[in-house]
């Protein structure tokens, strides 16, 4: 291995580690936002919002490093797919952070509202989403496409839970119209979690392309 190639491999490894760190911050944001909702802890929700600045900073750093690799190195075809995947992945992870901020904001709005019977399903959705995010990024680093299959199963579960939450909330509003504001907030948070899952699926598609050179639609 030449010195240039060794340096390039080191830079790719650093790139992967930064992406893992970025996704880890988003995981922590999701946990804080959902814990804030369950325990009416406004400080946790605000901390989750503040952490989005870290996500944005990492997004910019990784993007610049990707462009640096493209401009100053001579990446081979497979390396180009890795860099292209990285650029797409950070865009999706950054959007996950934005949706998590929306969840945190909603948890603050609902801090004085009665607990919704659907909160348990929202919590389950968040757990599945976190697992999906971790699996897709592990697949990016380890090149294990079996993790992508597990992630797809998680997306199906999130979609099912999202539909169940919508049905539950509509029934609750019909029985108690005064719960409409709470219900709308719950539906929105469910939708935000479902969108995060969709972005995880986008990441999975890029990882699949990176490994195989084949563009495959993972959404069902």
Exposure on the CB side of residue 215, measured as CA atoms within 13 A: 1
146 pLDDT above the threshold of 80 = yes
In this structure, the chain runs to a length of 220
Q: Where are the domains of the chain?
A: 3-212
Banded model confidence at residue 71, pLDDT cuts 50, 70, 90: confident
- Residue 99 CB burial class (10 angstroms; 0-12, 13-18, ≥19): buried
Residue 152 to residues 81, 177, 202, Cα–Cα distance (Å): 22, 36, 11
66-70, 102-106, 181-185: segment of lowest average pLDDT: 66-70
4 pLDDT above the threshold of 60 = no
User: What is the per-residue pLDDT across 26-37, written as a single tens digit (0 to 9) for each?
Assistant: 999 999 999 999
User: What is the per-residue pLDDT across 81-94, written as a single tens digit (0 to 9) for each?
Assistant: 899 999 999 999 99
Question: Domain 3-212 adopts which CATH fold?
Answer: Methane Monooxygenase Hydroxylase; Chain G, domain 1 (1.20.58)
Secondary structure of residue 76 in the 3-state scheme: coil
């Amino acid at each position: 291995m030449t010195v240039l190639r060794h340096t390039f491999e080191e830079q790719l490894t650093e790139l992967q580690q930064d992406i893992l760190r970025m996704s880890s911050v988003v995981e922590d944001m999701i946990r804080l936002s959902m814990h804030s909702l369950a325990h009416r802890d406004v400080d946790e929700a605000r901390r989750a919002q503040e952490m989005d600045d870290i996500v944005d900073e990492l997004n910019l750093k990784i993007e610049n490093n990707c462009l640096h690799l493209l401009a100053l190195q001579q990446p081979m075809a497979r390396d180009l797919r890795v860099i292209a995947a990285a650029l797409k992945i950070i865009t999706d992870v950054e959007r996950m952070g934005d949706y998590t901020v929306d969840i945190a904001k909603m948890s603050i709005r609902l801090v004085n509202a009665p607990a919704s019977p659907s909160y348990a399903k929202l919590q389950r959705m968040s757990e599945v989403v976190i697992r999906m995010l971790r699996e897709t990024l592990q697949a990016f680093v380890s090149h294990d496409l079996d993790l992508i299959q597990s992630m797809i199963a998680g997306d199906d579960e999130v979609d099912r839970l999202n539909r169940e939450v919508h049905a539950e909330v509509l029934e609750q509003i019909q029985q108690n119209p005064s719960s409409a504001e709470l219900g709308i907030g719950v539906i929105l948070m469910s939708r935000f979690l479902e969108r995060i899952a969709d972005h995880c699926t986008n990441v999975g598609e890029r990882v699949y392309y990176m490994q195989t050179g084949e563009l495959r639609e993972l959404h069902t």
